Structure 1
């Protein structure tokens, strides 16, 4: 009996035949892209404002460099709150369902982001304004822990075996797409408005837009996860929530290795998105709008590189792509950071090369060891693995890189990238699931 891998027919649930309409990977992919783009847009709006607005708006009592460091000190709060959000929202998922969890999480995410737009500055409220900024930043991360809908895992499980790499890259497209929209919007406002108006009210508009995008994304995702065919598909694939502590107790080794596997790409992620904007604004005469345009163009290259990663993974295997890109990031860390000090041409080269390498690496970093989880732990384990990987690999990257570059020179910022590359290579060596070819690597998924 043959199976059409391009269409997922209704499965069996608890031994009973389901009657759901066929669900194609393409339908799942659309929901995944919409969800990821909205989430990354929220975070990039905050990240860009952390460089262009927050140092002078919330920390005017110190110099610009120190203000940026203080701003970056608040940046990791969201990543630190994210695992706590996963713990709480998994309980909501078990008690009230995936739809209730998503609705609460995305309204909290959009509400926390929009609330930042209403904040007074240090001049009006003093340190109280900083405390509120920190609170809403925590709210962003806590909500993101609850936004895990399982669609990415569902996509990986139901993709044709010979195209696993192609479908693995789909969720990752949300990152550069979110950056393109956020950078373009800030570039428009910072160039169209006088500096005083931008710092007074212009910077607030992208935060309002973030809330609107989250509402649209919420309804798009609910339309998928609430449909009977998707409910049956989640159940037939054992993508059900369980207490986070149970998953940690049973699968801590897999979570640890899974969190290490994407560290190279996650470290590079903020090294080519947030850090260069801060360094250029502090150390060069480059105008913000000009560099944001460079960043937007480089992110478009990142989109193409992510797509290319899918082809490469299906041709040579995901482990090969992850290992080769980790080696590429290690090489990049040794020479590329210095380009930021070489004028506009150097900035373009740094961003272009960085996003090209990032796209290939990041494109295959999602759920790199998800198939190693036993079926009952896969849903919660994948969420926890992602939380820890972002916390360790990306949360502190802007702060560490800017401090190293300022104190010891640009070459020193590459040390952070190098450490991530080493961690990824060690994880690939440890993870037996990725040691074989792509079919062996995904075999347990197809049997789930």
Structure 2
């Protein structure tokens, strides 16, 4: 997903930019939510298809578990591509401007996703079908890295005093909104189409829709990105890319600490979205469409929890809230394995509790330690820490969770979640020590 930069600047947050006018926080928030929702819609359309479609379409010769593992291996390619995409699109933005950068990124994202809808199966072109999907998935990752437009930063800078947590949670609402849209489309198609029709042509419609959603998001975001007030504020705040090697030389420890800070929520991210769908599909009699409805209910709870995180963060502090959530996720890691797959009641409890914790943690986790970077390193530092956090915490989560669950039992999925929570707590502790010793 796009990088979040939660600036903690002592400058006035009036939103005024000398004589160039102002950018209203409400207008920024709308563009941010639309943009993030479109990105996460693309993301979850692929994620759901990686469970319900690609194992059968691309790997019919393998037994279902192995085919799903192959599909999850391709799933991870987007996260591997993100750091590379940040470097490429920072260069494009520096040479040709932010508008060109974002237009190319969103067009690449929408085109890659839409192109998947025309993907032939193994029966048509053999292993080349999986290769084509892998290429398109890699392009998705490159595009996601380039799609960040700085609107989340601008939203934070325009936040009234004492309301930074509230404004920081707004971009994160794109995740549950995108998931709700993607899962509702697939739930409808799975419920009303025959399995053969769904696998033949029905699954392709959500991928077609992704391109249309990206066009709407593109215009909503370009309207602000190309405004003079927006550009002036980015220049004033020194939100310009820097060479990554220089950043690592100057503030390498902050990159590492920042990358590990959100791992509790990022590990939980796929353990309550993509992984449980695969587990239920492979090892239970519950129809996929029915489980998607349960996940949609969880996403609603997650959205409400994200909103609650904004109010809580402004009351107790963003970093303290992240630490509390990491502890709660650690507790959840011990009870979650006993709920998943234990029946409807257990599945519902797993999803609702998991999404509630995810919303509280995810609502504030991204960019929480960005203020550690100097002004000139904020743009590149925030991009790189976000890329690494998604790669380490979420990129391989469905694959790892499914492997350990099938080999050693669901309790090991809890151990995986616990490791993410411990990484977050360790990161917050080390960050505090750096601040005290600075």
Taking structure 1 as the reference length, what is the TM-score of the superposition?
A: 0.93
Q: Would the aligned equivalents of 1:153 and 1:379 in 2 still touch at CA under 8 Å?
A: no
User: Higher relative contact order by CA 8 Å / sep ≥ 6: 1 or 2?
Assistant: 2
What residue number does 1:105 align with?
A: 105
TM-superposed CA distance for 1:172, in Å, is 0.7
Supply the distance in 2 between the matched residues of 1:379 and 1:4 (Cα, whole angstroms): 17
Supply the distance in 1 between the matched residues of 2:249 and 2:157 (Cα, whole angstroms): 24
Q: Would the aligned equivalents of 2:15 and 2:157 in 1 still touch at CA under 8 Å?
A: no
Matches within 5 A, 1:4-15: 7-10=14-17
Bigger mean CA deviation after superposition, 241-250 or 411-420: 241-250
Supply the distance in 2 between the matched residues of 1:384 and 1:215 (Cα, whole angstroms): 27
Supply the distance in 2 between the matched residues of 1:306 and 1:191 (Cα, whole angstroms): 30
TM-superposed CA distance for 1:27, in Å, is 1.9
TM-superposed CA distance for 1:4, in Å, is 12
What residue number does 1:397 align with?
A: 397
- Taking a change above 3 Å as real, the CA distance of residues 434 and 106 of structure 1, as seen in their structure-2 partners, is farther
Supply the distance in 2 between the matched residues of 1:244 and 1:92 (Cα, whole angstroms): 15
What residue number does 2:6 align with?
A: none
SS of residue in 2 equivalent to 1:9: coil
* Cα distance per residue 1:22-66 (max 9 Å; x no partner): 222222211211111111110100000000001111000011111
TM-superposed CA distance for 1:242, in Å, is 2.4
Structure 2, unaligned stretches of length 5 or more? 1-9
Q: Would the aligned equivalents of 1:369 and 1:434 in 2 still touch at CA under 8 Å?
A: no
What residue number does 1:308 align with?
A: 308
Supply the distance in 1 between the matched residues of 2:427 and 2:155 (Cα, whole angstroms): 24
TM-superposed CA distance for 1:290, in Å, is 0.3
Q: Would the aligned equivalents of 1:6 and 1:24 in 2 still touch at CA under 8 Å?
A: no
TM-superposed CA distance for 1:237, in Å, is 1.4
SS of residue in 2 equivalent to 1:251: helix
What residue number does 2:3 align with?
A: none
What residue number does 1:215 align with?
A: 215
Supply the distance in 1 between the matched residues of 2:329 and 2:239 (Cα, whole angstroms): 33
Instruction: Check if 1:326 corresponds to 2:333.
Output: no
What residue number does 2:353 align with?
A: 353
Q: Would the aligned equivalents of 2:13 and 2:157 in 1 still touch at CA under 8 Å?
A: no
Bigger mean CA deviation after superposition, 375-384 or 235-244: 235-244
Supply the distance in 2 between the matched residues of 1:200 and 1:317 (Cα, whole angstroms): 50
Supply the distance in 2 between the matched residues of 1:366 and 1:24 (Cα, whole angstroms): 23
Matches within 5 A, 1:276-287: 276-287=276-287
Matches within 5 A, 1:34-433: 34-432=34-432
Taking structure 2 as the reference length, what is the TM-score of the superposition?
A: 0.95
SS of residue in 1 equivalent to 2:181: helix
Supply the distance in 2 between the matched residues of 1:273 and 1:330 (Cα, whole angstroms): 18
Number of residue pairs aligned between Structure 1 and Structure 2: 427
Bigger mean CA deviation after superposition, 21-30 or 192-201: 21-30
TM-superposed CA distance for 1:314, in Å, is 0.6
RMSD of equivalent CA atoms: 1.6
